[in-house]
């Protein structure tokens, strides 16, 4: 194709579209290439976004009719054994007032489509149903655009932004990012369950339009490093459970069976009772953390979002890292184009921006958290069992004195592990996120 662009963005997800909006606002000629039939088509519905991040890109996102499912007013954390569990939660009325839309759920298929429309309105060209097969390079190895699978499908661009997610055949072809190792990836399965909005509101004790997120650790991953979540959408619940790919492979476990047994758990089953499954999908999560990140930029290109393995496994934040990185990439590109230097050096400000931002700071803070989870499988086996045992004994009224019960519990704990081991685990856990 003869036409050239200033910027070619691969992928119309949160990272790519954030960049496209920022670039289009600056009047830069931008093309976004998306392999799905429409942005969001290849995506998994059900996700949490943060108002702060979205406002950085689109300050007027509510006026633009952002398809928000529910405003999150409470975050819950559960720690589960097979048939029991602990629950703590935090609810704050400020989240319905001054800090409304601090966090909210969206259906990604709908949200991505809407988000891409905003970029289109700002002047970016979003091309769906088109797969990028390769990068164009000049003699010096500088990226000069992309090759799509369509006829006459070369797109020349001064800068290329790779924002095509974790599962990228392009990475393998071009080698811009090492293939993630199985232990750096979680395979998550997600199911959406349809329920009337009023039933969801009743079961979670929220008023219309508000919702709850629940993040879950414990035995339901069958001893594997992993997390489950339950998000409330308008008239669906998103259930997701994921485990480390390496461990799944080793244990020959099927993610589908994992979510089926998760749905039977006594704390989960009543929430989804009488619901109709609507979608089921599996996807990858980049859990490798800071150490799995590729080089973020090079001659003529930058990488943002999941594609750069930006994901905070502890706080389940991926979308906001994607959006923030997309925006920073765009800001860097604007400067580079102005200086007319799109080489590695000209784009190096991206690394600096990222390093100063919460994105890299958080990635660094939690850099050892992934491996901590991965190495301490007692977190998903012995510990939830012991914790449940303790609570069950303390709370059962059967004429035994509390003191006697404490002794019994300590005895059980010592027989399974040692206080020293527990303290060490706590220490390491704290260290990993310090």
Partner 1 sequence: MHIVCCVKQVPDTTQVKIDPETNTLIRAGVESICNPYDLVAVEAAVQLVERYTGRVTVISMGPPQAESALRECLSIGANEAILLSDRAFAGADTLATSYTLSQAITKINAAEPVDLIICGKQAIDGDTAQTGPGIATWMGYTQLTYVSEIIGIENGNITVRREIEGGCEVIQGRLPAMLTAELELASIRYATLPELIRALRYEVKVWGAKDINAAPEKLGLKGSPTSVREIFAPPVRGGGISFDAKEKKEQAVEDFLGALFTKEKTLMEEILIKASYAQE
Partner 2 sequence: MPKNSKGREVAEVVPGKCIGCQLCIGECPTNVITMEDGVAVIEAEGCIGCGKCVDVCPVEGAILFEKQRKKKAPKAAVACPIEEYKGVAVFIEVQNGRGAEVSWELMGKARELAQKLDTRVFGFLPGYNIKSVAKEAIAYGCDIVYTLDDPLLETYLSKVYGKALAHLCQQVKPDILLLGATPLGRDVSSVVATQLGTGLTADCTGLDIDPECRLLMMTRPTFGGSIMATILCRNHRPQMSTVRPRVMKLPEKDMQRRGEIKKLGFEAARDSLPQVLEFIPRTAEAGEVDITRAPVLVVVGKGACDSKSLPMLEELAHLLGGTIACSRAVIEAGLLPYPRQVGQTGKTVAPKIYIGVGVSGAVQHLVGIQGSDKIIAINTDSQAPLMQIADYAIVGDYQQVVPRLIEGIKVRTEKEASKG
- Residues within the interface to partner 1 (CB under 8 A): 1-3, 31, 37, 109, 125-127, 129-130, 148, 150-155, 194, 278-279
Q: What's the min distance (Å) between Cβ of 252 and partner 1? A: 28
DSSP letters for 19-60: HHHHHHHTT--EEEE-SSSSTTTTSPS-EEEEHHHHHHH-TT
SS3 338: helix
**If contact means CB under 5 to 8 A according to the sort of partner, which of partner 2, partner 1, none does residue 252 touch?**
none
**What residue ranges in 357-416 does DSSP mark as E strands?**
none
Q: How far is the CB of 196 from partner 1 (least distance, A)?
A: 11
Give the pairing of strands 47-50 and 125-127. unpaired
Choose the one of partner 1, partner 2, none that binds residue 138, judging by a C-beta under 5 to 8 angstroms depending on kind: none
Residues 391-410 that bind partner 2 (CB under 8 A): none
Residue 150: both structure tokens together:
């369509």
Hey, what are 25's tokens? 């606002």
Specify the residue, 151 or 395, whose C-beta has the smaller distance to partner 1. 151
Shortest Cβ distance from residue 18 to partner 1 (Å)?
Answer: 20
197 near partner 2 (CB under 8 A): yes
9 versus 103: smaller Cβ distance to partner 1 = 9
Nearer to partner 1, 30 or 432 (CB): 30
Minimum CB separation from partner 2 for residue 278, in Å?
13
Shortest spacing between CB 235 and partner 2, in angstroms: 8
> Crossing angle for the helix pair 319-339 and 349-356, nearest 10 degrees?
140
CB of 107 vs partner 1, minimal distance in Å? 10
Q: Minimum distance from CB of 67 to partner 2 (Å)?
A: 8
Bridge partners of residue 49, in order along the sequence: 104
Q: Which does 125 bind (CB under 5 to 8 A by kind): partner 1, partner 2, none?
A: partner 1
Number of residues forming the site for partner 2 (CB under 8 A):
3
Q: What are phi and psi of 190, to 5 degrees?
A: -130, 140
Distance of CA 110 to the CA centre of its chain: 17
For residue 41, the minimal CB distance to partner 1 (Å) is 8
CB atoms < 10 A from the CB of 304, how many?
34
CA distance 189 to 116: 25
Closer residue to partner 2 in complex, CB, 208/423:
208
Binding map of partner 2 across residues 206-235, x = CB under 8 A, - = no contact: -----------------------------x
User: Least Å distance between CB 116 and partner 1?
Assistant: 11
Helix (H, G, I), strand (E, B) or coil at 366: coil
Tokens 């035994």, located at residue: 400
The footprint of partner 2 on residues 233-252 (CB under 8 A) is 235
Binding of partner 2 at residue 41 (CB under 8 A)?
no
Alpha carbon distances (Å) from 169 to 26, 177, 301: 31, 11, 17
Q: Which is nearer to partner 1, 3 or 98 (CB)?
A: 3
Residue 37 binding target from partner 2, partner 1, none, CB below 5 to 8 Å by type: partner 1
Side-chain half-sphere exposure of 186, counting CA atoms within 13 A: 29
Enter the tokens of residue 324: 């923030």
Residue 28 C-alpha from the chain's centroid: 29
If the CB atoms of residues 195 and 271 are measured against partner 2, the closer one turns out to be 195
For tokens 């050096």, the residue is: 345
Distance CA 24, CA 38 (A): 19
197 binds, among partner 1, partner 2, none (CB under 5 to 8 A by kind): partner 2
Residue 25 binds: one of partner 2, partner 1, none (C-beta under 5 to 8 A by kind) = none
Q: Which does 390 bind (CB under 5 to 8 A by kind): partner 2, partner 1, none?
A: none
**Helices (H) and strands (E) in the chain — how many of each?**
15, 17
| Burial bucket for residue 305 (CB in 10 Å: 0-12, 13-18, 19+) | buried
Q: Which residues bind partner 2 (CB under 8 A)?
A: 196-197, 235
């Amino acid at each position: 194709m003869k036409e050239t662009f200033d910027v070619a963005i691969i992928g119309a997800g949160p990272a790519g579209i954030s960049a496209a909006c920022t670039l289009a606002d600056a009047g830069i000629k931008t093309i976004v290439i998306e392999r799905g039939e429409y942005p969001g088509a290849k995506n998994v519905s059900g996700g949490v976004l943060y108002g702060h991040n979205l406002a950085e890109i689109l300050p007027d996102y509510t006026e633009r009719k952002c398809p928000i499912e529910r405003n999150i007013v409470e975050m819950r954390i559960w720690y589960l054994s097979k048939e029991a569990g602990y629950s703590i939660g935090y609810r704050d009325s400020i989240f319905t007032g001054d800090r409304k839309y601090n966090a909210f759920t969206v259906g990604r298929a709908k949200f991505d489509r809407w988000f891409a429309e905003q970029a289109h309105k700002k002047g970016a060209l979003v091309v769906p149903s088109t797969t990028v097969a390769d990068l164009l390079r000049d003699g010096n190895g500088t990226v000069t655009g992309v090759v799509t699978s369509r006829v006459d499908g070369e797109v020349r661009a001064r800068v290329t932004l790779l924002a095509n997610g974790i599962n990228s055949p392009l990475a393998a072809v071009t080698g811009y990012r090492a293939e993630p190792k199985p232990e750096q990836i979680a395979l998550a399965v997600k199911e959406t369950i349809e329920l009337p909005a009023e039933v969801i509101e009743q079961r979670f004790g929220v008023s219309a339009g508000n919702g709850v997120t629940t993040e879950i650790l414990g035995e339901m991953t069958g001893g594997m490093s992993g997390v489950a979540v339950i998000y409330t959408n308008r008239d669906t619940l998103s259930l997701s459970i994921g485990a480390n790919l390496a461990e799944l492979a080793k244990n020959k476990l099927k993610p589908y069976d994992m979510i089926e047994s998760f749905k039977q758990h006594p704390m989960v089953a009543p929430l989804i009772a009488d619901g109709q499954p609507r979608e089921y999908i599996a996807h990858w999560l980049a859990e490798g953390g800071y150490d799995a990140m590729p080089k973020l930029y090079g001659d003529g290109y930058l990488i943002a979002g999941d594609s750069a393995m930006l994901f905070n496994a502890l706080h389940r934040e991926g979308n906001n890292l994607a959006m923030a990185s997309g925006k920073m990439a765009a800001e860097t590109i604007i400067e580079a184009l102005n200086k007319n230097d799109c080489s590695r050096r000209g784009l190096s400000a991206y690394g600096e921006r990222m390093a100063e931002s919460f994105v890299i700071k958080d990635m660094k803070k939690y850099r050892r958290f992934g491996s901590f989870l991965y190495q301490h499988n007692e977190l998903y086996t012995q510990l939830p069992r012991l914790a449940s045992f303790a609570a069950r004994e303390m709370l059962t009224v059967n004429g035994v004195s509390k003191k006697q019960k404490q002794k019994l519990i300590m005895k059980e704990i010592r027989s399974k592990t040692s206080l020293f081991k527990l303290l060490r685990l706590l220490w390491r856990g704290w260290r990993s996120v310090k």
